[in-house]
C-alpha cells in the first residue's frame, strides 16, 4: 500500500527537522496512460531515502537522482518522462503515457 499524501508530507517535515536535505517531487501533469495521478508525491532525502511514488520503476530512480542534485544546488527542476524509442525501456513509461514532475528542494 502506498503512503498517503499526509504521511509523505509529514515525513518530509520530520526529515527536514532532523537536519536532512529534503526535496519533494510532485506529478504536475499527465498525458495518456500514467501510473500515478496529478498531485502524487515522492519525498527524497539527500542520501536517496524516499517515501511515496510518482511513477514506479526506472522513472522513480531517475527522480531520486535528480532530487539529490536539486537538494545540492537548491534549485527546483522540471522533469518529463515518456516513451521514446531510445529510452522506452531505460527511463520511460512503457504504458505509453507521459508525465511531468516538479522536484522542489525544501528550504
pLDDT at 83: 59
Task: State the Cα–Cα distance between residues 95 and 76, nearest whole angstrom.
Answer: 27
- Whether the per-residue pLDDT at 57 is higher than 60: the answer is yes
Percentage of the chain exceeding pLDDT 90: 60
Q: 77's torsion region: left (phi>0), alpha (psi -120 to 50) or beta?
A: beta
Can you give the pLDDT at residue 92? 47
What's the pLDDT at 58? 72
Torsion angles phi and psi, residue 8, rounded to 5? -65, -45
- 43 pLDDT exceeds 50? yes
Q: For all residues of the chain together, what is the average pLDDT?
A: 86
Tell me whether strands 77-82 and 98-105 are parallel, antiparallel or unpaired: antiparallel
- The predicted structure's pLDDT at residue 22: 98
Between 37 and 94, the more confident residue is: 37
- pLDDT value for 88: 43
Amino acid at each position: 500500500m502506498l503512503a498517503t499524501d499526509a504521511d509523505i508530507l509529514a515525513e518530509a517535515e520530520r526529515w527536514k527537522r532532523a537536519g536532512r536535505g529534503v526535496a519533494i517531487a510532485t506529478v504536475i501533469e499527465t498525458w495518456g496512460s500514467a501510473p500515478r495521478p496529478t498531485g502524487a508525491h515522492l519525498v527524497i532525502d539527500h542520501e536517496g531515502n524516499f517515501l511515496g511514488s510518482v511513477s514506479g520503476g526506472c522513472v522513480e530512480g531517475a527522480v531520486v537522482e535528480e532530487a539529490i542534485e536539486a537538494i545540492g544546488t537548491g534549485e527546483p527542476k522540471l522533469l518529463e518522462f515518456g516513451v521514446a524509442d531510445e529510452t522506452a525501456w531505460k527511463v520511460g513509461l512503457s504504458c505509453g503515457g507521459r508525465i511531468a514532475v516538479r522536484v522542489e528542494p525544501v528550504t
